[in-house]
Each structure stands twice: as C-alpha cells, then as structure tokens.
Amino acid sequence: MVAVHAPPSAQLDIRDVRSVAAAFADFRPDAVINAAAYTKVDQAEGESEAAFAVNAEGARHIAKVCAAEGCPLLHLSTDYVFDGARRGPYVEADPAAPINAYGRSKLAGEQAVAEALDAHLILRVAWVFSATGANFVKTMVNLAGRDELRVVNDQRGAPTAARSIAAALWRIIEQMASKPRFGLYHFASEPPTSWHGFATVIFAELAERRDAGALPKLVPIPSADYPTRAARPGNSLLSGARLHCHYGIGPADWRGELKRVLATLTPQAV
C-alpha cells in the first residue's frame, strides 16, 4: 500500500535544512515531490530574498537531503523561467531568460536541484488552476457579479489543472522504479489560449449553470493597459513532446478539468 505524506509548512519548513532532514527521518520516503513555492509574482519584485529563500535555497535543501538519502526528487518549476519572446511552444533546450524576480528564483531552484542531485526530474508547468488556492479561475468566479471585466488578450498559454499535474507526477513515479529517465521536462496542456480566451470559456461554462445569474461583459485589452509590478511572458506555451516520448504522458485537455473545478465553486463559496 502506498502512503503519501504532505506535511504543511508549519511542520516542514524547506528554508531550514534541519527541518527537511527531520522530515526525511520521520517519513523515510522512496521519492519526493517538491511542490512548495513562493508564487506571489508581483510581490516577489519587492521580496526577492523571500522568493529565493523558498524557491532556490529551499529546493537546494531538499535536493541535498535527497542526495544523502539516495532518494529521487521530482521538482515543479514554471514557464516563467522564459522571457516569452519565442513564437512557438518552448522546448527544454530553449535558453531560460526570466524577466521577473519570481522567474529568476525558480530558475535558481532548477539549477540548485540539478547541481545537488543526479536523480532529479524537473517538471515545468504553466497557468495552474484548481478549486483551492489563489488562481485565475477562482478570481474570475469571484468577479462574476461585475458588469464588465477587462482581461489581457496578448499573453498566450495553456491553462493546466493541478489535478492533471498530480496525475502526471504519479505516472512518472510509477515508471521510475523500473526505468528512470531523469532530467528536465515540460508538462503541456491544450488547447492554447489567452487569458481573455480562458475567461471566455470560464464564463461560457458558468452561463450553462442555472444559478449563474448575469455574467460580466469581457473586454480584451493588451498587457500595456493592465500594468503589473512584475512583467509577464507574452508566450507561456510549453511543448510536452519529450515527456510524451520518455514517459508516454500526452497533453492534458484543460477544458474537462475546468468543468470539474467549476462544479465545486460558486461566487458565494469561493
């Protein structure tokens, strides 16, 4: 029987290598997934030390303890390691060039993991959404009562459900025991869209619900008209061809997962 341990940050502080070592002593894991991250992209511009403490040094601590214990590590990273200037989907061989502090901290974490541990798999994901935590879908549902919403239309990506990522990680772990293929991978979703396009699908799904009520008018705008503290990549598309080749894991269709998430959310309950 497989046991999964997911200690909260109050119990496992990855910024403290002693806390990481203690968790290993308690759980004796056969494999580790590092999903911990500082993800406040705009706030990271003024709190880069806090972002690096979690995303870079925290990742290094986990990788070092994994190396000492002979334990493989699956480390989650992000499309934000790229500048977004590429025309098509990014592949793993494309040079990283982050344009904000969050992206730089995540790239530093990738490098720290690769330096400290041979038995590592780094999985980059993009535009993650779920029924919990702060994400675009929950924001749109919370704003569904407004008359109008202005949504950026010149940033491209593929929304990715946290549930799809979890399923991919589990399939990787199942195969690692017999045929480990470590290194850097991208997990892709489809179809590509913009934030405005994503919002359009969200509200189309909400409109089919009897209790949705009146929904806002969506106005597409360029990024320049929606200034943020941290710059965002214009292109966040990731190619999952390498992951499919090595692990047989193909692109996930985010639209079905969106239905699942919206089925659990209402504007009053988020």
Point out the catalytic residue in the list 38, 80, 102, 185.
102
Q: Is 80 a catalytic residue?
A: no
Give whole-number Cα distances, 232 to 15, 85, 88, 199, 256, in Å: 26, 11, 17, 18, 26
Query: What are φ and ψ of residue 120, in 5° steps?
Result: -125, 150
136 CB burial (10 A radius; 0-12, 13-18, 19+) = middle
190-223 burial code (b ≥16 CB/10 A, e <16): bebbbbbbbbbbbbebbeeeeeeeebbebebbee
Asked if 152 and 222 touch (Cβ cutoff 8 Å), the reply is: yes
162 Cβ contact list (under 8 Å, min separation 6): 128, 129, 130, 133
Residues labelled catalytic: 102
